[in-house]
Amino acid sequence: MIPLPTPVRILLKTRLCVLAFAAMVLPAMSQGLVTPLRAESLSAFAEPHGEWHVAADVTLMPENPTLLASTAGTGVIVNGSTGRTKDILTKEDFGDVEVHIEFCVPKGSNSGVYLMGRYEIQVFDSFGVAEPEHSDCGGIYQRWENDQGFEGHAPRINASKPPGEWQSFDAVFLAPRFDGNGNKTAPARFVRVLHNGLVIHENVDVSGPTRASRWNDEKPLGPLMLQGDHGPVAYRNITIRPLPPGFSNPFFAMDTATKRSYPNDPTPPAEQLDLLKELGYNGIAWTADDPAKTREVAAAARARGMRMWAIYFEGTLTKDGIQIDPRLEPTLDVLRGHDTIIWLHLPSKDFTTSSPAGDAVAVPALIELADKAAQRGLRVAIYPHAGDWTERIQDAVRLAKKVNHPNFGVTFNLCHCLRVGDEARIPELLEQAAPHLFCVTVNGADSNATDPSWKQLIQTLDRGSFDLAPMLRKLTELKYPGPIGFQGYGIGGDPRDNLTRTINGWRNLLKKL
């Protein structure tokens, strides 16, 4: 899930319906200003409101499951008794945002969430649909010109719940870009959309307003619009968090940096997460563990408004296939809905480093793993590691092309790229990896080190002679939207000191950008 600012999370527990406008100070989320949608009014939305009203909850009407019955109270907004009323728009305008919104529809009903009043994520009763289209729940609705529809985007999977149950969308959205003369230079983009915790879209560009938008033009800012005239619907727990301009990728720490003794450390995961939250990190990457403990860590991260961004597993490539840690499959089950990346590093005694001869054995097994991950709303990324069969990012990209699966990609690891001598090729390698890039890890390092040791290649982010700024600028140029993690393996010393130095180094890097 896309994490929410702490004050919003507290309000959700009290079941207040919230429309929150909170700034984010990178890399941490600001505690921000929280503006509740007042129980006695629809004050966050511009008038007229039509038949929209505030209620405590909704259920399916017993005698007619195509309608919603509401109970008096606060916490939910409902579009009248018949669902045929006006669309409502927020008073505030927004550009780049993270949005969380919960909704409930009865049988056969239809609504929509319009970013900037122009770009729709479809709300629909699509429970049980085997092959969803753009018009199903979670679809990015088609555009419409000259009596013809085009450019609709179906959700990757159908994550719909039965009618009458509360559901959620979490989205990262970038507004279209314009030059000083008002000419559009880049289209609107849905960086990522989750439906009930499962990824349904990534990096979808929308060339213009979708059908039934409030306006047909495009601007840098616009309000959130909730469609009210297509059928009964209820909404609650709406959070809009503006993203800052520039480099806005989430920044997390690997547990190689949070543990004094890696991989086994007596420090409770909750203490590690509390430290990261205090310092301003967006979450953690974990190492393969007992599935029950992994569930605990992921839940603890979410409870703190953070995320387990990745988990590290080993799979050994043999002539007969890939021997994977037996904890992996139950881990897929416990991480369902957390949008965690499964990092897979692949050593081999049967195939030499970087040898394509192993592809014929590896690819079928990786396709099977990607399918299993996709069924749980998760993704798999090769973790290039010096000395592995897949020690270079080039090896991971070669496999990603052959696996050809939306839930299978690659990770770029700076320290391992430097270790294998590819420092000069980093911009080129990032371009090659970009279509498949799920995650990036960084650290301080010495540039052009001769016969480099890990002490030279893995340092806190404020140390080392390697200039990370050009690499981050390249990622910005490539429109990489994903997370970036701090690799702290083998640094030694006090985790708090290392993490503090690194978060300060990260903030200083962002100032350069």
In a domain, residue 480? The reply is yes
Which of 277, 278, 268, 408 has the alpha carbon at shortest distance from 3? 277
Predicted pLDDT of residue 145: 84
User: Where does residue 264 rank: exposed (0-12), middle (13-18), buried (19+ CB within 10 A)?
Assistant: exposed
pLDDT digits (tens, 9 = 90+) for 454-478: 999 999 999 999 999 999 999 988 8
Whether 418 is covered by a domain: the verdict is yes
Token pair belonging to 100:
């969380």
Number of domains into which the chain is organized:
2
Instruction: Indicate whether 325 and 389 sit together in one domain.
Output: yes
Closest C-alpha to 122, from 39, 8, 227, 274: 227
Measure the CA dihedral 318/320/326/329, to 10°.
Answer: 120
* Residue found under tokens 């130095």: 501
Cis before 48? omega within 30: yes
**Range of the structural domain that residue 508 is part of:** 251-512
Residue 409 falls within a domain, yes or no? yes
Looking at 220, 242, 264, which one is the last position of a domain? 242
Distance CA(221)–CA(376), nearest Å, equals: 35
Three-class HEC string of 415-427: HHHHHCCCHHHHH
- Residue 469: inside a domain, yes or no? yes
Residues 325 and 471 in one domain: yes
CATH number, domain containing residue 110: 2.60.120.560
DSSP one-letter code for 116: T
Same domain assignment for residues 227 and 351 = no
> In this predicted structure, what is the pLDDT of residue 244?
67
How far apart CA 230 and CA 440 sit, in angstroms, is 42
Furthest-apart CA pair in the chain: how many Å? 77
* pTM of the predicted protein model: 0.69
Is the previous residue joined to 269 through a cis bond, with omega within 30 degrees of 0? Answer: no
Q: Are residues 212 and 262 in the same domain?
A: no
Host H or E run for residue 298:
helix 291-303
| Confidence at residue 249, expressed as pLDDT on a 0 to 100 scale | 84
Domain contains 402: yes
Is there a single domain that holds both residue 203 and residue 280? no
In this structure, the answer to whether residues 435 and 508 fall within a common structural domain is yes
Same domain, 314 and 172: no
Q: Which residues, in sequence order, are bridge partners of residue 307?
A: 283
364 in the same domain as 256: yes
Residue 257: which of 29, 509, 460 has the closest Cα? 460
Between strands 307-318 and 283-287, the pairing is parallel
Regarding whether 158 and 279 lie in a shared domain, the answer is no
- pLDDT for 247 equals 67
Q: What is the CATH number of the domain that holds 390?
A: 3.20.20.150
Count of beta carbons in the 10 Å neighbourhood of residue 48: 9
User: Are the C-beta atoms of 344 and 376 separated by less than 8 Å?
Assistant: no
1 falls within a domain = no
Q: Say if residues 99 and 169 touch (Cβ distance below 8 Å).
A: yes
- 259 and 151 in a single domain? The answer is no
Please give the C-alpha separations between residue 398 and each of 290, 351, 402, 440, 487, in angstroms, as whole numbers: 31, 16, 7, 17, 24
Dihedral over alpha carbons 206, 208, 213, 217 (to 10 degrees): 150
Task: Give yes or no for a contact between 233 and 111, defined as CB atoms under 8 angstroms apart.
Answer: yes
Residue 13 maps to a domain: yes
Choose one of 210, 242, 274: the last residue of a domain: 242
On the CB side of 398, CA atoms within 13 Å amount to 16
**Domain check: are 27 and 136 in the same one?**
yes
300, 306, 309, 314 alpha-carbon torsion, rounded to 10°: -20
Q: What 3-state DSSP class applies to 456? A: helix
SS (H, E, C) 188-255: EEEEEEEECCEEEEEEEEECCCCCCCCCCCCCCCECCEECCCCCCCEEEEEEEEECCCCCCCCEEEEH
Q: Are 468 and 438 in contact (CB under 8 A)?
A: no
Please report where in the chains the tokens 């601007």 appear, as a residue: 219
pLDDT-flagged residues of the chain (< 70): 1-41, 244-247
- Is there a single domain that holds both residue 151 and residue 228? yes
- Listing DSSP states for 314-380 in one string gives EEEEETTEEEE-TTHHHHHHHTTTS--EEEEE--BSSS-TT-GGGHHHHHHHHHHHHHHHHHTT-EE
Q: Nearest 10 degrees: CA dihedral of 359, 361, 363, 364?
A: 160
Looking at 213, 242, 271, the residue that finishes a domain is 242
Domain for residue 50, yes or no? yes
| CA distances from residue 421 to 355, 430, 439 in whole angstroms, order as listed | 17, 15, 21
